[in-house]
Chains A and B, each alone.
Chain A
Amino acid sequence: MAAAIEVRELHKRYGDLHALRGVSFTVAPGEVFCMLGPNGAGKTTCTEILEGHRVPSSGVVRVLGLDPARGERALHERIGVVLQSCGIQHDLTVGELITMYGSYYPRRRSVGELIELVELDAKAGTRAEALSGGQRRRLDLALALVGDPDVLFLDEPTTGFDPHARRAAWSTIRSLCSLGKTVFLTTHFMDEAQHLADRIVVMRAGEIVAEGTPEDLGGRERLPTEIRFIAPEGFRPDDLPQLPPDAALERDGESVLIRCSEGLRAAHAICGWALERSLELRAFSVAQPTLEDVYLRLTEAAEAPAGLSLHEREGARGR
């Protein structure tokens, strides 16, 4: 099956600024593809090129087999876009706007059901200018969906949502995928990426620095396990029992963090040691580094961060 989105060696320069430095990726039909990265990493530039708002300096971009830079109507009829910030005819009501934008498309969803889907039923007769920030974003989502798109671009779609609305939007997006829609998502929120994405790429300074599923991104599964607890009274690191050789201890005030590739063995040793001495290890936890930890390492470190193998980065770039 042909790729829904295909990007090869994409470069974008603004004068001296090299905003995208050879980005390549492919999104399969029906996939939820998430682009993570800090501000200025090139996410929005990349998204805007895919949407046809910007023209690449070089490289190949195809969305549904078409070149978005040509602004073809046939492409616009099949994509839906939630832009990070864009305007609306604010003198028209929610219902009128959805109907109006719907009239631009050859295929369209039912207005009533869309309004229900984004939970704006109570606001159908309200003018856009009177909507709250979160309601406006939900209207944006409805307008992106009104043409029953095959590919949906969501640029930070839940920014400004309250937690409930966010969950609701997520389940909407998830159910879109069950209809075979391809979703291209950018976000700042790790939990959003974790919840929605089939595949994640992490951007930093115009390059893809890692690619993977939410589970294995940045070699997360292979990173050392983290054991945390709050130090009991009079605790000294020397008190600890013998731990596997690569165990490393960090202390931040009362809290203790031990990183160890043999998490089970280390945890077992610590538990036995504490029980023997009747020590209460408050807030004892054993966990893999979170997606957020991995993301921060990937995007903040100037050099290849420790704990992240180099081949991972190169592997991501080569794909």
Chain B
Amino acid sequence: MSSAGELSVSRGQSESEGAGAAAPILPTGGTRGSPARDLALLGRQVIYEQRAFWRNRRRALTSFAFPLMFLLIFGAIIHGRVASLHNIPYINFYVPGIIAYAVMVIGFTNIAMAIAYLRYDGILKRLRVTPMPPTLYLLAVVLSNVLTIVAATVLLLVVGVALYGAHLEAGELPGFVLTLMLASACFTSLGIAVARLIPRPDSGMPVLMFVTLPLSFISDVFFPLEKGAHVLREIGELFPLFHVSRGLQPAFEPFSRGGGLVGSDVLVLLTWSAVGLWLSRRTMQALSKQD
């Protein structure tokens, strides 16, 4: 065994990555984090988070593979059928619905579970004695999750269009992207907010499923509910998922049902985002809490 006396100490120079190489030689007094250094730190952490996410089968399965499985199975079953409501191919309704579902499962459930594990596993406790600020770390977790949302969306789009012939209206893509951004912000903030309420991760998953699954049945995800058809649809309208589905739909069927992202959808999503953000502060306080 080599003694520590032989250990070389590299100052301000990363072992494996170039990003740190630009850091100046520092006095032993340390530094305040400069914005540029923190940005590099953030970028690297996002990459580590992505790596850890895709390696973890349980996480990748529950958040990424689930919506894909729904699309593959349901898409195969309904393939070629005509939706009864508006004489349009069901798949054109179904692809945006599943994408909305995926954004919810990844944005909300996955981030809540990720934070619950950070606390439960004691990773936050370790981070707190390192120079990595907990908020910066959490930001990396969130950004990594957004990358996962983007990856899921792209994959579902490709499968829907290439495999099942869903029709994508390129002109409606800006509204589609805007909806995705609002949905990510909304679900992520709500996910951070509820993370505080999960004492043990193993009990968190069923509880979160208990919220997300029923919601998706009344939010135009798996089948359309016509306005006034049922009181459940009015309930669904109160929650963000319904409005995400609506906002994503026109990219596939612009002239159907007069749908699309309208002011009221944006308003509902922004309201929920604000609520989520406000409640997230409690989580953030709990995360950086010293006793």
Contact = CB atoms under 8 A, between A and B. Distances in A.
A294 interface: no
B206 to A, nearest CB: 22
Nearest to B53: A91
Contacts of A179: 4-5
Given A86-B125, A89-B52, A106-B26, A54 B290 contact: yes
Contacts of B45: 100
Interface stretch (B130-138, B167-175, B267-275): B130-138
B285 interface: no
A71 B290 CA distance: 10
Grouping DSSP codes into helix (H, G, I), strand (E, B) and loop, the B interface class, with mixed when no group exceeds half, is loop
Nearest to B45: A100
A168 B5 CA distance: 14
Contact of A52 (B121, B124, B128): B128
Nearest to A178: B5
A108 B10 contact: yes
B84 interface: no
B267 to A, nearest CB: 39
B285 to A, nearest CB: 13
B74 to A, nearest CB: 31
A87 B5 contact: no
A188 interface: no
A232 B98 CA distance: 88
Interface stretch (B27-35, B211-219, B227-235, B238-246): B27-35
A106 B31 contact: yes
Given A55-B291, A102-B15, A106-B26, A83 B7 contact: no
A92 B121 CA distance: 14
B125 A103 contact: no
B126 A171 contact: no
Interface residues of A, number: 58
A255 B291 CA distance: 51
Contacts of B124: 87
A8 interface: no
A147 B1 contact: no
Contacts of A92: 48, 51-52, 55
A113 B123 CA distance: 24
Interface in B47-81: 48, 51-53, 55-56
B44 A100 contact: yes
A117 interface: yes
A148 interface: yes
A51 to B, nearest CB: 5
A168 B290 contact: no
Interface stretch (B16-24, B104-112, B150-158): B16-24
A316 to B, nearest CB: 28
A76 B6 CA distance: 24
Interface string A77-92: 1110101011111111
Contacts of B4: 117, 145, 172, 175-176, 178-179
B8 A87 contact: no
A172 B121 CA distance: 28
Given A74-B31, A87-B121, A104-B130, A113 B7 contact: yes
Contacts of A110: 7-10, 15
A91 B55 contact: yes
B126 to A, nearest CB: 4
A216 interface: no
A91 B56 contact: yes
A53 B1 contact: no
B14 interface: yes
B122 interface: yes
B16 A117 contact: no
A78 B14 CA distance: 17
Given A54-B291, A74-B31, A113 B8 contact: yes
Given A109-B10, A113-B8, A114-B7, A73 B1 contact: no
A86 B118 CA distance: 10
B30 A77 contact: yes
Contacts of A91: 51-53, 55-56
Given A89-B48, A89-B52, A74 B10 contact: no
A106 B12 contact: yes
Contacts of B87: none
B11 interface: yes
Contacts of B203: none
Given A55-B291, A91-B55, A92-B52, 12 more contacts: A75-B30, A90-B121, A99-B15, A104-B132, A106-B26, A107-B10, A108-B9, A110-B10, A150-B28, A171-B1, A178-B4, A179-B4
30 contacts: A52-B290, A69-B290, A73-B30, A73-B33, A76-B131, A78-B30, A86-B126, A87-B122, A87-B125, A88-B121, A91-B53, A91-B55, A92-B51, A99-B16, A102-B14, A103-B44, A106-B31, A106-B131, A108-B9, A108-B13, A108-B14, A110-B7, A110-B8, A110-B15, A117-B1, A117-B2, A147-B130, A150-B28, A172-B1, A172-B4
Q: Which 4 A-B pairs have the closest CB atoms?
A: A87-B121, A87-B122, A77-B30, A91-B52
Interface of A: 51-55, 69, 71, 73-79, 81, 83, 85-92, 96, 99-114, 116-117, 119, 127, 143, 145, 147-148, 150, 153, 168, 171-172, 175-176, 178-179
